[in-house]
Structure 1
């Protein structure tokens, strides 16, 4: 009886292993990511350790990618220096890591014009019903493929600076 249960369990594990790794979470043991650089005009994101590029990714941006984000609903991706400040393992977009937009100065500017600065800007995937269509489709976020956000989620730590260039 015990041998039969062992063989059934081993067979089940072999079948699962043959299906591939479906886990969203992977391990990363390489050099630390010390900064992220995003070049909106090139639609490229780079993960760096010091001055060495560890990884590069093609990205999608907000639906109106030219110019900095200033107000809620403007469809723009922010520009400037921010920090990774949160994670969402249950994102509607597979996985996501938060960007510290808006700064207090950006909030004050929007307030001075009677508007809201917006928020909830993330680097995220394209999961399920939310798969992006076209070149730039987000509401201001930075989108990559699901397999890429798995790598990014594993490699990048909270507090990492992110420079977003025009």
Structure 2
């Protein structure tokens, strides 16, 4: 009888009728790292790279974002703090820029640090294929991937996941 119950429970778990807590927590990433100089974004779980994506950034990718409209992608450590399913660029995940340091720097310089920096999908107005568009920096400082990749990231990233953006 015990063996029959164990086999039944195994069958239910194997065919998805009982959610596996370890499977759902294992599928999420715990860190996102952007390397601006390589135009790459990698997602990590337990210190290991799960996948790397080619990215597009702002027209001026070198250097840290200082002010609204400078076409730069920020550098530093932030949080992916919310998801937006109805983005103008397919879907997006918000980056917590500006952080306190960014705000302090902007205040000292008498400028606005800007905001609304996201990881997002494709430009719906582009005439280029998704793969071709990724070869150009076209955003206003955001990090762009293809819509297919955005769907993957949407499943892999939970709100609250840290992101490090390196030069």
TM-score range, shorter chain: 0.7 to 0.9
User: 1:36 — aligned with what?
Assistant: 32
CA drift at 1:128:
1.9
**Mapping for residues 70-81 of structure 1, pairs under 5 Å:** 70-81=66-77
> Runs of 4+ in structure 1 displaced over 6 angstroms?
none
Structure 1 distance, partners of 2:148, 2:115, is 25
Secondary structure of the structure 1 residue equivalent to 2:125? helix
**Which aligned pairs between 1:142-157 and structure 2 lie closer than 5 A?**
142-157=143-158
Alignment-derived partner of residue 100 in structure 1: 96
Residue-pair matches, total: 139
Query: Cα 1:54–1:137, aligned 2, differ >3 Å: closer, same or farther?
Result: same
Q: Which runs of 5+ in 2 are unaligned?
A: 1-22
Is 1:83 aligned to residue 79 of structure 2? yes
Match of 2:10 in 1: none
| Cα deviation, residue 131, structure 1 | 6.8
Does structure 2 conserve the Cα–Cα contact (< 8 Å) formed by 1:92 and 1:130?
no
CA RMSD of aligned residues (A): 1.7
Alignment of 1:31-70 (within 5 A): 31-70=27-66
TM-score for the superposition, normalised by structure 2: 0.78
Do the aligned residues in 1 keep the contact of 2:78 with 2:162 (CA within 8 Å)? yes
Measured in 2, the distance between the counterparts of 1:124 and 1:42 equals: 18
Cα deviation, residue 31, structure 1 = 2.8
Q: Match of 1:109?
A: 105
The 8 Å contact of residues 127 and 146 in structure 1, kept in 2 or not, is answered as: no
- Is contact 1:126-1:143 (8 Å) kept? yes
Displacement after TM superposition at 1:58 (Å): 0.3
1:32 CA drift (Å):
2.3
Report the Cα offset of residue 55 of structure 1: 1.3
Give the TM-score, by structure 1 length.
Answer: 0.79
- The residue number in structure 1 matching 2:115 is 119
